[in-house]
Amino acid sequence: MQCKEKMETYLHEHQVPFKEQHHTRTFSALTIAESEHIPGKKMAKTVVMQIDGQMMCFVLPAAYYVDLDKVRAIMGAKEVSLAHEDEFELTFPDCEVGTMPPFGNLYGISVYVDKSLAAEDMITFAVGTYTDTMSIKYTDFEQLVHPHVAVFARSQVDL
């Protein structure tokens, strides 16, 4: 089962309403937001990181980037780095590399969400391809994933 179908099945099983979108092939969460005419602060991107040798998902708005020093402080970690594609592609075998949904729980990975994204009513995210996204209420996401909410992102553009 591919990621998109896995997400559809999971959301249906949990009776969570969702909306699917399709866009031209693109490789940037911010570009996806622009093409789908949604604010960058509502487009969730998933960043896979290595924290003291353990893989974790960090979910933040498209127009933000992960502040490694903040992550190090939050986690009390010694080694913090962005995971390389070859480190996480086997963890997400049903996704095109770099298009992981923010549902790390479905892949056995802890999920951290930046507080700025947790403040949104709806979020949109990639579902395993460079052309497809889904939108759900943030409260539904929170109930399904039970992410840790923290402040670890910095804005790279004006929202």
For domain 3-155, give the CATH number.
3.90.960.10
pTM score of the predicted model: 0.90
CA angle 137, 141, 143 (to 5 degrees): 115
* For range 49-72, the mean pLDDT: 94
Cβ neighbours of residue 138 under 8 Å, at least 6 residues apart? 117, 118, 120, 121, 122, 123
Give the domain ranges of the chain.
3-155
| 91-144 confidence digits (pLDDT tens) | 999 998 888 999 999 999 999 999 999 999 999 999 988 888 999 999 999 999
CA angle 85, 90, 92 (to 5 degrees): 85
- pLDDT, position 32: 67
